Amino acid sequence: MKDTLGVIVPLIGDDTNLNPLLGHRTIGTLPFGGRYRLIDFSLSNMVNSGVVKVGVIGTVRYSSLIDHLGTGKEWLLSRKTNDLSILTGSVNRKIEGDYRINMLDFILNKPFFEKTTKDKVIIAASNIVTTFDFNLPAQVFNKNDADIVMIYRAESPSATTLNTDVFLTTEGHRVTAIDYANDKKTSKKYADMMIVSKDTLLKLIKTSEKSEEYDLMRILMDNVDSLKIYGYELEGYFNRVFDINHYYNANMDLLDYDVLKELFLTEAPVYTKIKDNHPTRYGLNSHIEDCIVGSGGYIDGEINHSIAFREVEIEEGSKISNSIMMQKCHIGKNVTLDHVIFDKEVTVRDNTSLIGTVEEPIILSKATTI
């Protein structure tokens, strides 16, 4: 897919109650799975599909994005040769009503899209957890001389649905209707990834500028009959992290070996920023069961069904279960933790007990001491 430009976008409204974890970072750079960031999945999917040029649309908290992406070398890209570009975001300026993708992000970067020599553009969200080969929907795109191919998945009746979720009606592969959740006619939920021709994207940008309609999905809804829009079904694991519960559950899903294998143990790796650490040391009192533990830490307590990122320290007598502890957390002696989410550098003093629930885990922001 060397003829394709990749663009990673923020989704509006997808940080509903994640604020305690987003004070100093974007949702795309939210730590995940012991060593990764959410944006790693979309970026790796593009690179593994053969995309050699990617633009990442930033938001108000640029520093975490710049720090994580660095020169782009971990993703086989280079900012020196503009293989990886960080683009200006619209600061998620909101228009009236619920919507999903802000066309202002594309209008502000119109010269970037006009100058590209690529024929097609992949647009993907920065906060989705999945492994996906874009060459598959590209085949549908090329075979049908499509304007757009929207990737969707079959949604289960029990899944959480937001007003901004988009559903597709299809005949064969052809999309005949696009609706927001309140008007949905099918269970085919848009999976926040699409392939669009460069010419079509520039026309959509022009339409948005002229009409002052900044909701991309509304524009597609209004033009579904005139555009050649096709659908492609995503099969396998998919999660979109837009609130605390989805963040917690997506992390805990990794403790299921089948999910872990599908996401990470394939020929298409998930790339991330590399940090060289010594292996985690385990004391004589340590007991680890059903966990993911990052490097560089020290554990002398008990951990069950939890995720500990790099350089986490857990002292003797402490018992942790069903929890997520980000980088450089320090847990003192005889501490009991259950259903907690700790940001980086949290310190818990000796003899402390924090008990949350699946529905309402206890969250501590970066560098909190308790």
Q: How confident is the model at residue 158 (pLDDT cuts 50, 70, 90)?
A: confident
Is residue 33 within 8 Å of residue 306, measured between CB atoms? no
Mean pLDDT of 302-329: 98
Instruction: Look at residue 269 and tell me if it is in a domain.
Output: no
The partner residues of 298 in beta bridges, in order of sequence, read 281, 313
Mean pLDDT of 34-40: 96
For 55, 128, 204, 297, the CA distances from 241, given in Å and listed in that order, are 21, 6, 27, 27
Given 208, 234, 264, which residue is the final one in a domain?
264
* Region of 50 on the Ramachandran plot (φ > 0 left; ψ -120 to 50 alpha; else beta): left
Residues 59 and 178 reside in one and the same domain? yes
Residues 243 and 286 reside in one and the same domain? no
Mean pLDDT of 54-77: 89
Residues 334 and 223 reside in one and the same domain? no
- Predicted TM-score (pTM) of this structure: 0.95
pLDDT the model gives residue 98: 65
Q: How confident is the model at residue 95 (pLDDT cuts 50, 70, 90)?
A: low
Q: How confident is the model at residue 220 (pLDDT cuts 50, 70, 90)?
A: very high
pLDDT the model gives residue 275: 84
Q: How confident is the model at residue 204 (pLDDT cuts 50, 70, 90)?
A: very high
Given a cut of 90, is residue 209 above it in pLDDT?
yes
Domain holding 249: CATH number?
A: 3.90.550.10
Residues 194 and 46 reside in one and the same domain? yes
Given a cut of 60, is residue 62 above it in pLDDT?
yes
Q: How confident is the model at residue 227 (pLDDT cuts 50, 70, 90)?
A: very high
Q: Which residue has the tokens 């006619």?
A: 185
Instruction: Look at residue 272 and tell me if it is in a domain.
Output: no
pLDDT top residue among 275 and 326: 326
Mean pLDDT of 254-273: 95
Instruction: Look at residue 270 and tell me if it is in a domain.
Output: no
Residues 77 and 192 reside in one and the same domain? yes
The rounded distance, in Å, linking the Cα atoms of 144 and 195 is 13
Domain holding 296: CATH number?
A: 2.160.10.10
Given 229, 264, 299, which residue is the final one in a domain?
264
Mean pLDDT of 48-73: 90
* Residues of the domain holding 298: 281-364
DSSP helix/strand/coil, 196: strand
The rounded distance, in Å, linking the Cα atoms of 127 and 41 is 8
Mean pLDDT of 350-360: 96
Round the average pLDDT of the chain to a whole number and report it: 93
What's the CA dihedral at 236, 242, 243, 245 to 10 degrees? 0
pLDDT the model gives residue 100: 84
Residues 217 and 338 reside in one and the same domain? no
Residues 226 and 360 reside in one and the same domain? no
Task: Label the pairing between strands 340-342 and 287-289.
Answer: unpaired
What's the CA dihedral at 273, 326, 18, 60 to 10 degrees? -40
The rounded distance, in Å, linking the Cα atoms of 237 and 39 is 16
Residues 42 and 80 reside in one and the same domain? yes
Mean pLDDT of 271-300: 95
Given a cut of 80, is residue 161 above it in pLDDT?
yes
Given a cut of 60, is residue 91 above it in pLDDT?
yes
Instruction: Look at residue 300 and tell me if it is in a domain.
Output: yes
Mean pLDDT of 185-203: 97
Could you read off the pLDDT of 21-34 as tens digits, one per residue?
998 898 999 999 99
Q: How far is CA 98 from the centre of its chain?
A: 20
Alpha carbons within 13 angstroms on the beta-carbon side of residue 77 total 30
Mean pLDDT of 338-360: 97
Instruction: Look at residue 271 and tell me if it is in a domain.
Output: no
Given 239, 264, 289, which residue is the final one in a domain?
264
Could you read off the pLDDT of 103-157 as tens digits, one per residue?
999 999 999 999 999 999 999 999 999 999 999 999 999 999 999 999 999 988 7
Mean pLDDT of 214-226: 96
pLDDT the model gives residue 24: 87
Residues 6+ apart with CB under 8 A from 123: 7, 9, 101, 193, 194, 195, 196
Residues 259 and 300 reside in one and the same domain? no
Nearest to 242, CA basis, from 18, 92, 58? 18
Residues 84 and 181 reside in one and the same domain? yes
Q: How confident is the model at residue 211 (pLDDT cuts 50, 70, 90)?
A: very high
Instruction: Look at residue 23 and tell me if it is in a domain.
Output: yes
pLDDT the model gives residue 93: 56
pLDDT the model gives residue 346: 98
Instruction: Look at residue 276 and tell me if it is in a domain.
Output: no
* Region of 242 on the Ramachandran plot (φ > 0 left; ψ -120 to 50 alpha; else beta): alpha
Residues 100 and 176 reside in one and the same domain? yes
Nearest to 204, CA basis, from 221, 192, 216, 193? 216
Residues 97 and 184 reside in one and the same domain? yes
Instruction: Look at residue 370 and tell me if it is in a domain.
Output: no
Residues comprising the chain, all counted: 370
pLDDT top residue among 160 and 260: 260
Given a cut of 90, is residue 90 above it in pLDDT?
no
Nearest to 216, CA basis, from 125, 84, 86, 114? 125
Alpha carbons within 13 angstroms on the beta-carbon side of residue 10 total 28
Q: How confident is the model at residue 92 (pLDDT cuts 50, 70, 90)?
A: low
**Burial status of residue 202 (CB atoms within 10 A of its CB: 0-12, 13-18, 19 or more):** middle
Q: How many domains does the chain have?
A: 2
